[in-house]
Structure 1
Amino acid sequence: MKDTWNAFIDSDLYVPPTGTGMLNNLSFALKDVFDVQGHISSAGNPDWLATHQPASEHADVVAALLKEGAALKGVTHTDELMYGLNGENAHYGTPVNPKSADRIPGGSSSGSAVAVAAGITDFAIGTDTGGSVRIPSSYCGIFGYRPSHGRISTNGLIPLAPSFDTVGVMARDGHTLQKVGAVLLNSTSRVSGFTRLYVPTDVMELVDEQSMRALAPSINHVMESFSTIEEIAIAPQGFSTYMETFRLLQGKEIWQTHGEWIQKENPMFGEDIGSRFQWASTLTLLNMNYIEEKRRELRYFMYSQLGEEGILILPTAPGPAPVKDAKGPELENRRLRTLQMTFIAGLSGLPQVTIPAGELDGLPVGLSFIAGYNQDEKLLNWVKENSGRIIQASVRSVS
């Protein structure tokens, strides 16, 4: 298969369906961090590829998709060991964002997002630890789903930070997203209603003014469909404490997961990724009691607010995709604001879906919805039923 978008690390890998079912005649791309029988996953790093053996069997999610009639069409690029949000890889290059070639695709599930946005596959599988499905989905103008932590099997996945790691889905429409989600959740629930809408005012302040204007018609459409709307603050004392909680917990887990291999093999990393692993290596003696308490605090707040009937609306990222090869304080500020938006679901373990609900100068801007824990089926069904009208509200506003 010709790969003009540099989405795939191996575009010749093809695995036919092993059965028939809900996903008949659909094709998917797979982030190169999942086991595929006979294939060595690179995790975005040549040294990882050189020091590991072919998988003896498929990862659980791969087996489930093949059994339901989907065909695997190739494995896709990722940031090194999934530790990035840009989609830029020092060894394998940057997949081309189909919406704008001079913009990053987002990461770490960069190739998966590009494969879907370019129309190469019907859907793709990625991973989301700190935003790695949600952010590239937003930047590439597609749908992306991060599940409740623990709902979808991670067996056969190269881990990053296990208490944050999730398997995510990307698609071009809500119907496909829901179907794939139902297969991976092993559920046929059709429940879809929410009765309360929550608007996080402090999160909205993290978003670029122009992006908020681009999303306003879609947000207003959603608000008009709810009779109960409540403005809340996710972090009344500021985001810094929760942000530090997220960074430290994730960083310590990352070093616990990969530190031994890094010390043994001394792999070559790109500059940004290498500096993150170096920082993570300093956290081994850190006392996590207070930090774990802050995670429990946020989880209790989010669980008690959302329950089974509440849904939170928020922009997925501060703005559209940044330009490629950007450096300096502005990019670091953008990364910080992005993580302050993505840690909400990550630290709480909640399901989130992003949809392409606006455009700014032709660049897609994502709008997200977070539901209560274990409300994945309801969230996916709600998105399937309502996303078309939400997106249409944005289209009407610019036509």
Structure 2
Amino acid sequence: MSAFLQQFDLVAQPRANAPTIAIKDSIDIAGYPTTAASRALADTPPASRHAEVVQRLLDAGWRITGKTNMHELAFGMTGINDFSGTPRNPQDMARIPGGSSSGSASAVGLGLVDAALGTDTGGSVRGPAACCGVIGLKPTFGRVSREGVSPRVTTLDCVGPFARDMKTIIDVMLAIDPSFEVDRARRDARTTRVAMLDVEADEEIRRAIAAAVTRSELGSHDVRLPSMRDAFAAGLAVINAETWRAFGHLVDGGKLGADIEARLRAAANTKAADLDSAERIRHIFTDEVDRALEHADVLILPTMPSLPITVEAARAGTSVIGMSSLIRPFNLSGHPALTLPVPIVGSSLKAGLQIVGRTGEDETVCAVAAHIEAMLMR
């Protein structure tokens, strides 16, 4: 099944009904190669030790069931991979699963595992989660260990969980983040102050988000972040530069997918001036988010501006760059952000409702998401 690259059974402390979790193939598991779903890395030697997050999961009693597929080298938003296969979107098999943590989102959405780990550099947890109708969390940058995660050097990437319910998201965070305060994550969030972020999105998505907030009975006010679009472009410059540094040596080897080869060649053209500008925008946008969160506990906005396109349309060249327009900016700023599936009137598909919190307030983000989830189930 293309959601998985490898399936196995790894558990340190066997116990009845141990929860199951799958691990994205950019995260080391001892005894297995970390190939990032790329032919160019297929001969990589097996990892000699577990990534820290993997070891913490095993120590907490989780059962690891395999390594999940992904967009090659974690450098794409569609999840299409002609080398290792394209994972199925459980909401609609004709649509893209999203990238780059496509297999993790697919495996959770298909019910193959209770949870999965992915990585999010520019939306690679939240995007696939929104596409596949599951929950995905990007923690505060630097809060969850990236020891044993590829690429080794990054100023944006975060390890984060996927699940079908908030209880499981919180359980995973409790395992992988030793500083996570479970009581705060499960507290009553009925008095939370919400700021609704004014962004461009399809009307059906906007209505779905507004309806979910109304049903949550949380008080809200509107807010704008003037540098949102600049932060989106700045984040791409940083991703391009850092991905080129990590994987540029694979170009011309004849083993990369055509889309990745082309994107890496383009990434090589990122200039020092582009990165200087991106750093200036990072500070400006981070300050804007922090100031908006002085008057609200969380920001709420759509995860993606539109529903995921079909695999056929993506292969035909339909642009997907806008998929990450509402998620990548919060990689640049480092704030915690979670996507929660919410119903769309007249559709079998779910929209992603994104919740952004103050730096280090991952527990508040989880508490608000759990409250909205509960209210939507009433």
TM-score normalised according to structure 2 size? 0.92
Structure 2 match to 1:272: 259
Is residue 2:143 matched to residue 1:143?
Answer: no
Structure 1 match to 2:52: 60
Structure 1 match to 2:330: 345
Question: What CA deviation, in whole Å up to 9, does each residue of 1:168-209 have, x standing for no partner?
Answer: 1000101111111122221234224464211111x1x2x111
- The answer on whether the counterparts of 2:341 and 2:352 sit within 8 Å (CA) in structure 1 is yes
- The answer on whether the counterparts of 1:312 and 1:369 sit within 8 Å (CA) in structure 2 is yes
Determine helix, strand or coil for the equivalent of 2:42: helix
Displacement, 1:215? 3.5
Question: How far apart in 2 are the matches of 1:120 and 1:328?
Answer: 27
Question: How far apart in 1 are the matches of 2:46 and 2:267?
Answer: 28
1:1-399 equivalent positions in 2, closer than 5 A: 3=1, 6-11=2-7, 13-18=8-13, 25-50=18-43, 52-159=44-151, 162-186=154-178, 187-191=180-184, 192=187, 193=189, 195-201=192-198, 203=199, 205=200, 207-222=201-216, 224-226=217-219, 229-235=220-226, 239=229, 241-259=230-248, 261-263=249-251, 266-283=253-270, 285-286=272-273, 288-307=275-294, 310-327=297-314, 331-332=318-319, 335-359=320-344, 361-389=347-375, 391-392=376-377
- The answer on whether the counterparts of 1:59 and 1:157 sit within 8 Å (CA) in structure 2 is yes
Question: What CA deviation, in whole Å up to 9, does each residue of 1:89-112 have, x standing for no partner?
Answer: 021121111221111111111111
Q: Residue type matched to 2:215 in 1?
A: H
Question: How far apart in 2 are the matches of 1:285 and 1:38?
Answer: 39
Question: How far apart in 1 are the matches of 2:254 and 2:140?
Answer: 33
- The answer on whether the counterparts of 1:144 and 1:353 sit within 8 Å (CA) in structure 2 is yes
Question: How far apart in 2 are the matches of 1:72 and 1:155?
Answer: 18
- The answer on whether the counterparts of 2:212 and 2:372 sit within 8 Å (CA) in structure 1 is no
- The answer on whether the counterparts of 1:129 and 1:161 sit within 8 Å (CA) in structure 2 is no
Determine helix, strand or coil for the equivalent of 2:243: helix
Worse overlay, 146-155 or 297-306: 297-306
Q: CA RMSD in A?
A: 2.3
Structure 1: stretches of 5+ with no match in the other structure: 394-399
- 1:160 and 1:270, CA in 2 relative to 1: closer, same or farther beyond 3 A? farther
Aligned residues: 372
Determine helix, strand or coil for the equivalent of 1:39: coil
- 1:382 and 1:232, CA in 2 relative to 1: closer, same or farther beyond 3 A? closer
Question: How far apart in 1 are the matches of 2:372 and 2:131?
Answer: 21
- The answer on whether the counterparts of 2:21 and 2:117 sit within 8 Å (CA) in structure 1 is yes
Displacement, 1:269? 2.2
- The answer on whether the counterparts of 2:232 and 2:329 sit within 8 Å (CA) in structure 1 is no
Worse overlay, 166-175 or 210-219: 210-219
- The answer on whether the counterparts of 2:304 and 2:325 sit within 8 Å (CA) in structure 1 is no
Question: How far apart in 1 are the matches of 2:317 and 2:204?
Answer: 17
Question: How far apart in 2 are the matches of 1:285 and 1:299?
Answer: 21
TM-score normalised according to structure 1 size? 0.87
Displacement, 1:330? 8.0
Question: What CA deviation, in whole Å up to 9, does each residue of 1:279-338 have, x standing for no partner?
Answer: 111125445323211111101111222159520001111122211131489831xx2332
- 1:24 and 1:209, CA in 2 relative to 1: closer, same or farther beyond 3 A? same
Question: How far apart in 1 are the matches of 2:314 and 2:290?
Answer: 38
